[in-house]
Amino acid sequence: MELLALAFGAALAVGLTGIATGYAQARIGSAGVGAMSERPEMFTSAVILMAIPETVVILGFVVAVMIMLILPGG
Amino acid sequence: MIQSMNRIEVAALKDVFPQLLSFLHEQGVVHIEPLTEVPSGGRVARLHLSEEEEEEHGKLRSILEAVTALLDSTADQGDLERVRRLEATPTRELFLRFQELTEELGRRKARHEELLEERRLLPHWESLVDAFLSIQYAFARRPDWSMMGLILDRAREHDIDALRNEIARVTKGRMELSVATLDPTRLAALVFYEERFERDLERLIWGKGVDHLTLPRKYLGKPLDEVLTDISVRRREIPREIAEAEAAYRDLLTKSGEELVALRELARLRSKELSTRTAFVQSSYTVGLIGWVPQSAAAPLRRGLEELFGDRVFVSFRPPRPEEWATVPVALSNPSLARPFELLLLPMRRPRYGGLDPTILLALFFPIFFGIMVGDIGHGAVILLGGWAVGRWFPRVPGAVSSILMTMGGSAIAFGFLFGELFGDLGKGWLRPLLFDRTERMISYLWLALAIGVAHVLLGHLLGIIGALRLRKPRQATERAATMAAIFGGLLLLGAGVKLIPSGWFTPGLILMLAMVPVLLYAGGLVALLELVSTAGHILSYARLMALGVAGAMLAHVANTLGSTEGNVVLGILVALLLHLLHLVMSLFSPTIQALRLHYVEFFSKFYEPGGVPYAPFRR
């Protein structure tokens, strides 16, 4: 039971943060493309802005890895 | 590093003004400060262009715009010798030569574009005429009448009467409209109308959002089957005509291209000289200019001016005063190894004069971060070779791109040896990691990433203190120092908590942290406390070095595993190659963005003062 809870926790940590990052990137991406259509020189800034919310899923991934290392055989 | 600048003030007698302007243009070191205000009521006024000069400027601009549009390129600098030979030619003669060259070129280009447009429209004309053939319709011929084809959705069939009434209103009844079936979902309509109503009609049709085609007048009055035959003959002939028209255009372009580029360059230089004149002030007998030059260029410039103009020109130099720093242009000067990395600073605004240029640190840390994330000898070698190939075979790509790619590749190779990875786990068994295997010791990898984060963020704060002191902002310097001390206290606290250091350090760490709270409140208010929390977040953000590294190593492992499970050896190698290629593209993109982001967001926010004016000298 504890094993199941840990595995579920790891999945939640990476899954929910992935969804959150995807949501944020979708909003930033559409705004970035809009900005680029008027000012193509915004490309680099738009790409950098797209990378900002990735912190969330990266930290989620780190947490998931740490949980998995607790799992038997991890 | 930001170059030290000197303010230059030049005053000259008016009779040497053109020569002075040419000399400064030739030297190419003076960043001319645009005149914002000239005191009114005095003897000094802004220098304006005369009517003749304005006319000349207009001609030069038209040469510049027309040649740029014709040649589709602004990068080519042209043959400098040819530019020099043309320099003595007056603008009026240059303009005549330009008109001579571009008239025929423009005509040939227009013919080519016209034929391309006809080729695009021919199938549409064909289907429209075909639709009317079935109802045995005949085009009428009337002098001064034109013909327009409309394509309508069948669903809008009931709107046709309303459209007919609208067209009749706009053309005052001088129209005819016929409708036929184009295909099961669309209708075709032909409108004949008196030519003088063409604009009103187009405006009406455009406003209704209906697709329309204007049919060539040559088809008016012809039987429809003859029109169809004509169109099919044109469809056969037109590719040859397009090829001929393009060849004729390219041929003339090749013959006159070099001369046109030289004309464009000369027009650019003269236009710049003319527009620069308005940055001067004048009195009855003198002209004056204010600008900035790099300190290293001041002495040679003074010598040159004295030798050429003697006492007819007066020049003075002085270092900028702190209150002028906001307007001093910023020129970067970095060692050749770090210079390519100035490219990565372009998305940011220039650093302020008196602030810090982070290029050298970027050149040091960016490849390290990239290497930690990619960390594979094979992938690094491919990136290194790719960078070399870009420099060798793509002359239009800036050389800095090639240098940066090669540095990134070299760093990935070095970390590949540290982590013992060659295209993932292909080297397992004989390639031993010099540091650790990151897929097995993820926690060590995480600690490494966070330790780099602590060092990088603390370095940022240290630079923030130096920068604040240089810009004479003592409170900001105090705030940065207190944040550094609080982070250090936090590290002692954490280290003692997880038993990395003796537990006796717990209390000093806590005291240090708490002692910094009033200092932070004094120096930066509540915002400073919030920044302390965000600094902790910034350090954690470096965990991405580990996260992306592990994900990359796993992907390479998956590529090898999938390749080896295939029964067919060739297919297995192909699968592995494809997956590694995909991984390589991702390795190039994602770690680059993340390494840049760690600099722009986590590192630069501690010390970088943007807002500098880029140094743009008046030069050829």
Structure confidence at residue B388 (pLDDT): 95
Taking one residue from A and the other from B, the number of pairs with CB-CB distance under 8 angstroms is 41
Q: Which of B443, B541, B600 sits opposite A48 (nearest CB)?
A: B600
Taking an 8 Å cut-off on Cβ atoms, the answer to whether A47 and B593 are in contact is yes
Tell me the CATH number of domain B5-87+269-327, given options 3.40.50.300, 3.90.1750.10, 3.30.70.2170, 1.10.357.10. 3.30.70.2170
ipTM: 0.78
Answer yes or no: do A62 and B543 touch at CB < 8 A. yes
Residue in the structure block whose two tokens are 């030059």: B293
Answer yes or no: do A45 and B346 touch at CB < 8 A: no
Question: What are the residues facing B316 on neighbouring strands?
Answer: B9
pLDDT of B374 reads: 94
Across chain B, what does the average pLDDT equal? 85
CA distance B17 to B36: 21
- 544-563 in B: which are within 8 Å (CB) of A? 544, 546-548, 550-551
B601 touches chain A (CB under 8 A): yes
**What does the pLDDT average to over B386-409?**
92
Rounded Cα distance between B328 and B290, Å, is 12
Mean pLDDT for the stretch of residues A59-71: 83
Between the alpha carbon of residue B492 and those of residues B386, B451, B495, B501, B513, the distances in Å are 45, 13, 5, 8, 10
Cβ within 8 Å of A, B 178-217: none
Q: Answer yes or no: is pLDDT of B48 > 80.
A: no
Q: Do B442 and A65 touch (CB under 8 A)?
A: yes
Cα–Cα dist B549/B376, whole Å: 10
Indicate the residue of A47, A50, A59 with minimum beta-carbon distance to B543.
A59
Q: Measured on CA atoms in the order B385, B388, B393, B395, is the torsion positive or negative?
A: positive
Sequence-separated (6 or more) residues with CB below 8 Å from residue A20:
A53, A56, A57
Q: Do A65 and B550 touch (CB under 8 A)?
A: yes
The model's confidence at residue B500, banded by pLDDT at 50, 70 and 90, is confident
First vs last C-alpha separation in chain A: 17
pLDDT of residue B78: 56
pLDDT digit string (tens) for B581-607? 888 888 888 899 899 989 998 999 888
Q: How far apart are CA B98 and CA B75, in angstroms?
A: 20
Contact A48 B442 (CB under 8 A): no
Per CB-CB distance under 8 Å, the chain A contacts of B443 are: 66, 69
pTM of the complete model: 0.71
Residue B426: DSSP 8-state? T
- Rounded Cα–Cα distance for residues B613 and B320 (Å): 14
CATH of B113-241, one of 3.30.930.10, 3.90.1150.10, 3.40.50.300, 3.30.70.2750: 3.30.70.2750
Domain count, chain A: 1
Pairing of strands B286-294, B5-13: antiparallel
- Residue A57 counted as domain residue: yes
B69-B75-B81 Cα angle (round to 5): 100
Tell me if B541 and A44 make a contact (CB, 8 A cut-off): no
- Alpha-carbon torsion angle B481, B483, B488, B492, nearest 10: 140
Beta bridge partners of B601: none
Q: Report yes or no: B178 and B190 within 8 Å, Cβ to Cβ.
A: yes
Chain B residues whose CB is inside 8 A of the A50 CB are 593
Read off the tokens for B2: 């930001």
Domain boundaries of chain B, sorted by first residue = 5-87+269-327, 113-241, 339-606
Distance from CA of A47 to the nearest CA of B (A): 8
CA dist B318 and B134 (Å) reads 87
**Structure token pair of residue B369:** 């971060």
| A59 assigned to some structural domain | yes
**A36/B contact by beta carbon, under 8 A:** no
Please list every residue in chain B whose beta carbon sits closer than 8 Å to the beta carbon of residue A58: 541, 543-544, 547-548
Look at residue A41 and tell me if it is in a domain: yes
**Cα of B314 to nearest chain A Cα, Å:** 42
Residues 288-307 in B contacting A (C-alpha not used; CB under 8 Å): none
Model confidence at B74, pLDDT cuts 50, 70, 90, reads very low
- Could you tell me if residue A2 is inside a domain? no
Instruction: Find, in chain B, the residue whose alpha carbon is nearest to that of A56.
Output: B541
pLDDT category, B155, cuts 50, 70, 90? confident
Q: Which of A33-42, B384-393, B433-442 has the highest mean pLDDT?
A: B384-393
Distance CA B194, CA B346 (A): 57
Enumerate the residues of chain A whose CB falls inside 8 A of the CB of residue B593.
47-48, 50-51
Please state, in angstroms and rounded to a whole number, the distance separating the CA atoms of residues B194 and B175. 7
Chain A nearest CA to B144, separation (Å): 42
Q: Within a domain: residue A48?
A: yes
Q: Does some domain include residue A3?
A: no
Q: What is the DSSP string of B520-559?
A: HHHHHTHHHHHHHHHHHHHHHHTHHHHHHHHHHHHHHHHH
Mark yes or no for CB contact B346/A69 under 8 Å. Answer: no
Q: Is residue A31 part of a domain?
A: yes
The SS3 assignment for B173 reads: coil
* Cα–Cα dist B221/B141, whole Å: 4
Contact (Cβ atoms closer than 8 angstroms) between residue B371 and residue B414:
yes
Best mutation target, B442, B550, B590, to test chain A (most A CBs within 10 A):
B442
pLDDT of B287 higher than 90: no
- Say if the Cβ atoms of B346 and A61 lie within 8 Å: no
Closest approach of A1 to chain B, Cα-based (Å): 25
Contacts of B550 in chain A (CB under 8 A): 65
Question: CA dist B555 to B158, B344, B583, Å?
Answer: 60, 28, 7
Contacts of A48 in chain B (CB under 8 A): 347, 593, 596-597, 600
Among the partner-chain residues B540, B544, B596, the one whose CB lies closest to the CB of A48 is: B596
Examine the pLDDT at B160 and tell me if it is beyond 50: yes
Closest chain A residue by Cα to residue B440: A74
DSSP for B331-395, written as a single string:
-B---TTTGGGGGGGTTSPPBPTTS---HHHHHHHHHHHHHHHH--HHHHHHHHHHHHHHHHH-T
In a domain, A18, yes or no: yes
Cβ-defined contact of A55 to B544 (cutoff 8 Å) = yes
| pLDDT reported for residue B346 | 85
Instruction: Compute φ and ψ for B140, nearest 5 degrees.
Output: -85, 150
Q: Read out DSSP for B576-603?
A: HHHHHHHHHHHHHHHHHHHHHHIIIIII
On the question of pLDDT at B280 being above 80, the answer is: yes
Stronger pLDDT, B582 or B46, i.e. the higher one: B582
Taking CA–CA distances from A62, the nearest residue in chain B reads: B547
Indicate if the pLDDT at residue B77 is higher than 60: no
Chain CA centroid to CA B286, Å: 41
- Closest-CA residue of chain B to A47: B593
User: Judged by CB atoms within 8 Å, which residues 495-554 of B form the interface with A?
Assistant: 540-541, 543-544, 546-548, 550-551
- Is pLDDT above 80 for B404? yes
The domain in which residue A48 lies consists of 13-67
Provide mean pLDDT across the span B73-87: 60
The DSSP secondary structure of B70-122, one letter per residue, reads HHT-S-----HHHHHHHTTS-HHHHHHHHHHHHHHHHHHHHHHHHHHHHHHHH
DSSP per-residue string spanning B13-64: EGGGHHHHHHHHHHH---EEPPP----TTSS-EE----HHHHHHHHHHHHHH
- Rounded CA-CA distance B10/B289 in Å is 5
B 319-378 residues with CB < 8 A to A: 346-347
pLDDT tens digits for range B429-483? 888 899 999 888 888 999 999 999 999 999 999 999 998 888 788 898 999 999 9
Q: State whether residue B57 sits within 8 Å of chain A by CB.
A: no
Most confident range, picked from A19-23, B99-103, B256-260: A19-23
What is the distance between the alpha carbons of residues B369 and B240, in angstroms, rounded to a whole number?
56
**Å between B550 CA and nearest CA of chain A:** 10
* Residue that wins the pLDDT comparison between A54 and A28: A28
Give the model's confidence band at A69: pLDDT under 50 very low, under 70 low, under 90 confident, else very high. Answer: confident
A71 has a chain B CB within 8 A of its CB: no
Q: How many other C-beta atoms are found inside a 10 Å radius of the C-beta of residue B347?
A: 16
d(CA B210, CA B90): 53
Asked if residue A74 has pLDDT above 80, the reply is no
Q: Which of A48, A50, A52 should we substitute to test contact with B (largest number of B Cβ atoms within 10 Å)?
A: A48
- Interchain contact A48–B (C-beta under 8 A): yes
Contact assignment for B593 to A51 by CB distance below 8 Å:
yes
For residue range B194-214, list pLDDT tens digits in order.
888 888 888 888 777 777 777
Please tell me which residue, B326 or B211, carries the higher pLDDT value: B326
Out of A68-72, B297-301, B485-489, least confident range: A68-72
The Cα–Cα gap between B229 and B208 comes to 32
CA dihedral A23, A25, A27, A30 (to 10 degrees): -140
**Higher pLDDT, residue B555 or B219:** B555
pLDDT attached to residue B459: 94
